[in-house]
C-alpha cells in the first residue's frame, strides 16, 4: 500500500532520515520501532506530507505521493494522528469528532443561510456518526466531556476516533502509548485491532512498549540512524543481534 524508496530528510547537515526504504502491506498493522532519535517521527512526517523530503519517493498504491500536502493525502485516506490542538480543548469530545477537517466546506456556510433544513440534517448525520465512533471506542460516556479534561489515554482514543469520522485507509500513529495507563493502552490496542479487522484499516504504529508491539504488530520494522535496520516478526526482531546492539548503543 505504501512504498518508501531511499528517503532522505536532512536538517542542515544532519541526516535524520538517511536513505530509508520500506513497504507497508495493505491490511497490516506494521510496527515501527527504534532508539530515540532514529528518525521515526521524521519519517512519519515526510510520509504524511508534514515535512518535504530532501530526496526519495513515497508511493501509495503505486502512485507517487511524495510531498503532497496533508489535506491531499487526507482525501486519499492517509491520516496521521496529531495531538489535539489547543483550541479544541474547550469543546466536548463529540464536538471534536464533528469538527474533523473535510467535513467543513465553504459551501456549508452558504447552506446555513439558504438551506437551513438541509444543514440540520447534515449535522444530525454527523452527530450520529460521532456517536457510532464513541460506541466503537467504548467512550460514549465521555461524549459531553470537554476534550481538555480527558486523560492522556482518552485523548489518544479521541485522536483515533477522529480518523474514523472520515474513511481512512491507512493511519499513522506516533507513540500511541506515551503517558497512557495499561488499561487504556489495552483499550487502544483493541480499537486498533478491530479497526483493522472490521473496517480494513491499515496501520503503521510507532511505539516503545514492546509488549504492545508484540501483541499487535506484524511485521515490525526497526529504524536506527535514519535507516531501516531490520524487519520481521516481533519475536525475530527481539532476537536480532544488530537490533539489540542498536538499542544498547544509545
Which partner, Mg ion, ligand ADP, none, binds residue 183 by CB below 5 to 8 Å per kind? Answer: none
Residue 163 and residue 173: Cα distance in Å, rounded?
Answer: 11
Cβ count near 196 (within 10 Å): 17
Query: Of 132 and 175, which has the nearer Cβ to Mg ion?
Result: 175
Q: Is there binding between residue 82 and ligand ADP (CB under 6 A)?
A: no
Residues of this chain, 24-63, that bind Mg ion according to CB under 5 A:
41
Query: Of 45 and 187, which has the nearer Cβ to Mg ion?
Result: 45
Print the binding letters for residues 23-62 with ligand ADP: x by CB under 6 A, - otherwise: -----------x-xxxxxxx--------------------
How do strand 170-174 and strand 55-60 relate by DSSP bridges?
A: unpaired
Query: Of 21 and 112, which has the nearer Cβ to ligand ADP?
Result: 21
Q: Could you tell me the smallest distance in angstroms from the CB atom of residue 178 to Mg ion?
A: 9
Q: Could you tell me the smallest distance in angstroms from the CB atom of residue 17 to Mg ion?
A: 12
Q: How many residues bind ligand ADP (CB under 6 A)?
A: 11
Residues of this chain, 84-143, that bind ligand ADP according to CB under 6 A:
none
Which partner, ligand ADP, Mg ion, none, binds residue 16 by CB below 5 to 8 Å per kind? Answer: ligand ADP
Query: Of 40 and 162, which has the nearer Cβ to ligand ADP?
Result: 40
Query: Of 24 and 97, which has the nearer Cβ to ligand ADP?
Result: 24
CB 5 within 8 A of CB 57: yes
Provide the binding-site residues for ligand ADP, judged by CB under 6 A. 11, 14, 16, 34, 36-42
Provide the binding-site residues for Mg ion, judged by CB under 5 A. 41
Amino acid at each position: 500500500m505504501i512504498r518508501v524508496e531511499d528517503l532522505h530528510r536532512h536538517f542542515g547537515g544532519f541526516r535524520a532520515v538517511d536513505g530509508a526504504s520500506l513497504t507497508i502491506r495493505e491490511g497490516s498493522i506494521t510496527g515501527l520501532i527504534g532508539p530515540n532519535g532514529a528518525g521515526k517521527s521524521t519519517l512519519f512526517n515526510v510520509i504524511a506530507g508534514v515535512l518535504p523530503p530532501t530526496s526519495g519517493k513515497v508511493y501509495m498504491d503505486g502512485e507517487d505521493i511524495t510531498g503532497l500536502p496533508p489535506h491531499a493525502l487526507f482525501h486519499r485516506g492517509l491520516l496521521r494522528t496529531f495531538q489535539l490542538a489547543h483550541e479544541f480543548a474547550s469543546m466536548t469530545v463529540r464536538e471534536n469528532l464533528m469538527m474533523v477537517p473535510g467535513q467543513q466546506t465553504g459551501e456549508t456556510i452558504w447552506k446555513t443561510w439558504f438551506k437551513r433544513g438541509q444543514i440540520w440534517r447534515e449535522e444530525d448525520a454527523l452527530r450520529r456518526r460521532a456517536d457510532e465512533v464513541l460506541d466503537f471506542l467504548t467512550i460514549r460516556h465521555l461524549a459531553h466531556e470537554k476534550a481538555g479534561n480527558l486523560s492522556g489515554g482518552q485523548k489518544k482514543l479521541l485522536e483515533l476516533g477522529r480518523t474514523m469520522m472520515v474513511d481512512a485507509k491507512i493511519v499513522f500513529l506516533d507513540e500511541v502509548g506515551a503517558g497512557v495507563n495499561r488499561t487504556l493502552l489495552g483499550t487502544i490496542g483493541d480499537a486498533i485491532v478491530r479497526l483493522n479487522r472490521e473496517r480494513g484499516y491499515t496501520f503503521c504504529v510507532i511505539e516503545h512498549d514492546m509488549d504492545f508491539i508484540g501483541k499487535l504488530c506484524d511485521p515490525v520494522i526497526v529504524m536506527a540512524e535514519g535507516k531501516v535496520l531490520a524487519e520481521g516478526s516481533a519475536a525475530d526482531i527481539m532476537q536480532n543481534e544488530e537490533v539489540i546492539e542498536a538499542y544498547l548503543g544509545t
